[in-house]
């Protein structure tokens, strides 16, 4: 019986990982950042046939790898030299005693401390995952400290009203407003400067009056942003909710 997985090297695209999986009915090629090219196949499929399948897709795989390389350069990888700060907290890594084998996180008012056991590389996926969750937790805390108060202030200033406010880990957009005037804001707003946070809040507050992005909506948003709505919308493109 063939092994359930193996790695083969192709001159033009490098290593390809082949794996036989239960429930898989056809051969498929998947590319993921930092994980390379993975080919999944049914148990009954021969590796020789899978290799020929990949050979027919070399041009497509090479193009996909090029796009993936750009994504990899955008992905944040933390290490002991990283200088990362949220609004009020700084990320630090410390080493624990050799006898301690678990990764630990402590979030104070000024620090996100990730404790890593001796001998464990900070670049490891497990440590990176814990670090990302810690940063997101800090952003959630800071969002709760800032956003409810700021939404209420801006609504009061411009005579607008909303039914409720929710803060979530939304990566598809910075915010939204339902037909019932419930506003949702992403915790990733905490990356932005204050004036752009205000822009997003005002954007959603304007949707309590205008439910689309038609001329009336932009005229209203322009009025509340000192006639800078389009300029601020352009600035927002420099940022992304998908930080990690």
> For the ranges 13-17, 104-108, 204-208, which has the lowest average pLDDT?
13-17
Note whether 193 and 227 are same-domain residues. Answer: yes
Question: Within a domain: residue 243?
Answer: no
- Answer whether residue 72 shows pLDDT above 70: no
Note whether 145 and 227 are same-domain residues. Answer: yes
Domain limit, last residue, from 35, 50, 74: 74
CB 41 within 8 A of CB 20: yes
> Mean pLDDT, the chain, as a whole number?
91
- pTM for the predicted model, two decimal places: 0.69
- Answer whether residue 74 shows pLDDT above 70: no
Question: Within a domain: residue 113?
Answer: yes
Question: Within a domain: residue 18?
Answer: yes
Question: Domain count of the chain?
Answer: 3
Question: Within a domain: residue 170?
Answer: yes
Q: How many CB atoms lie within 10 A of CB 176?
A: 17
Q: What pLDDT does 75 receive?
A: 64
Q: What pLDDT does 67 receive?
A: 76
CB 13 within 8 A of CB 58: yes
Note whether 131 and 169 are same-domain residues. Answer: no
Average pLDDT over residues 60-87: 80
Note whether 219 and 145 are same-domain residues. Answer: yes
Note whether 154 and 188 are same-domain residues. Answer: yes
- Answer whether residue 2 shows pLDDT above 60: no
Range of the domain at 11: 5-74
CA distance 45 to 25: 9
CA distance 59 to 136: 38
Note whether 214 and 144 are same-domain residues. Answer: yes
Residues 120-175: pLDDT tens digits?
899 888 999 999 999 999 999 999 999 999 999 999 999 999 999 999 999 889 99
Note whether 131 and 204 are same-domain residues. Answer: no
Domain limit, last residue, from 117, 136, 155: 136
Confidence of residue 224 (pLDDT cuts 50, 70, 90): very high
Confidence of residue 31 (pLDDT cuts 50, 70, 90): confident
Note whether 147 and 102 are same-domain residues. Answer: no
Confidence of residue 1 (pLDDT cuts 50, 70, 90): very low
- CATH number assigned to the domain comprising residue 150: 3.30.2010.10
């Amino acid at each position: 019986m063939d092994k359930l997985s193996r790695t083969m090297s192709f001159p033009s695209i490098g290593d390809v990982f082949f794996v036989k999986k239960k429930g898989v009915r056809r051969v498929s090629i998947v590319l993921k950042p930092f994980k390379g090219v993975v080919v999944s196949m049914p148990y009954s499929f021969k590796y020789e046939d899978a290799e020929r399948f990949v050979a027919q897709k070399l041009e497509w795989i090479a193009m996909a790898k090029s796009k993936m390389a750009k994504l990899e350069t955008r992905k944040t990888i933390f290490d002991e030299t990283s200088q990362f700060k949220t609004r009020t907290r700084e990320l630090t890594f410390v080493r624990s005693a050799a006898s301690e084998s678990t990764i630990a996180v402590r979030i104070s008012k000024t620090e996100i401390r990730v404790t890593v056991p001796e001998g464990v590389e900070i670049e490891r996926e497990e440590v990176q995952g814990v670090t990302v969750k810690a940063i997101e937790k800090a952003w959630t805390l800071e969002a709760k400290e800032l956003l409810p108060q700021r939404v209420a202030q801006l609504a009061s200033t411009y005579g607008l009203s909303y039914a409720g406010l929710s803060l979530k880990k939304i990566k598809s957009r910075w915010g939204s407003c339902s037909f019932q005037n419930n506003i949702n804001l992403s915790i990733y707003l905490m990356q932005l400067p204050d004036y752009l946070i205000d822009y997003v809040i005002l954007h959603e507050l304007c949707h309590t009056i205008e439910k689309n992005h038609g001329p009336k909506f932009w005229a209203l948003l322009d009025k509340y942003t000192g006639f800078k709505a389009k300029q601020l919308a352009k600035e927002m493109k420099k940022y992304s909710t998908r930080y990690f």
